[in-house]
Amino acid sequence: MFAAGDSDIAQFGTATTAANHDQTDHITNFEGVSSGGHDVLSIGFSVTAVDYASANGTATTFGSADDAYTYAKAILAGHGTEVAALEVGTDTYVFWDSTHSTGTIDSVIALDHFTAGNLVKGDFV
């Protein structure tokens, strides 16, 4: 999906195959509210928090989608957070539980060339 130039809503309802997280849907040119844009993600529920991986205020960059998925499973289960946004190279992988109840990741999308720390709850509708 290409999102740029106007307000775009990327809508995801049911699971987007987190099991195949290295073969996920990609959104290019996502411009969320924190970067002055109007693009939003719709994942089937109202997001109240986004969790990130960081050390001393600096985002952790994972070497692969598989490494990010493993980390996301731990923080969603351990923190009760709804969404994990983790950087893999220059992209941000967004992981969540589509049932919004179990904390088990079954959904993922990738925001190409987007910084994880810039994804905020205002980027979801």
Q: Confirm whether 52 is domain-assigned.
A: yes
Q: Confirm whether 39 is domain-assigned.
A: yes
Pairwise pLDDT comparison (94 vs 6), residue with the higher score: 94
* Of 89, 125, 92, residue with least CA distance to 108: 92
Residue 1 confidence (pLDDT): 46
Q: Confirm whether 41 is domain-assigned.
A: yes
Tens digit of each residue's pLDDT (9 = 90 or more) over 42-84: 888 888 888 888 766 677 899 999 999 999 888 888 666 688 9
What are the angstrom distances between the C-alpha of 77 and each of 24, 27, 40, 92, 111? 22, 26, 25, 20, 23
- pTM, two decimals, is 0.83
Tens digit of each residue's pLDDT (9 = 90 or more) over 95-118: 988 877 767 788 899 999 999 989
Name the token pair of 125.
């509708």
CA distance 106 to 28: 22
Tens digit of each residue's pLDDT (9 = 90 or more) over 9-52: 455 555 455 555 556 888 888 888 887 888 899 888 888 888 88
The total number of structural domains in the chain stands at 1
Domain with 84 in it: 9-123
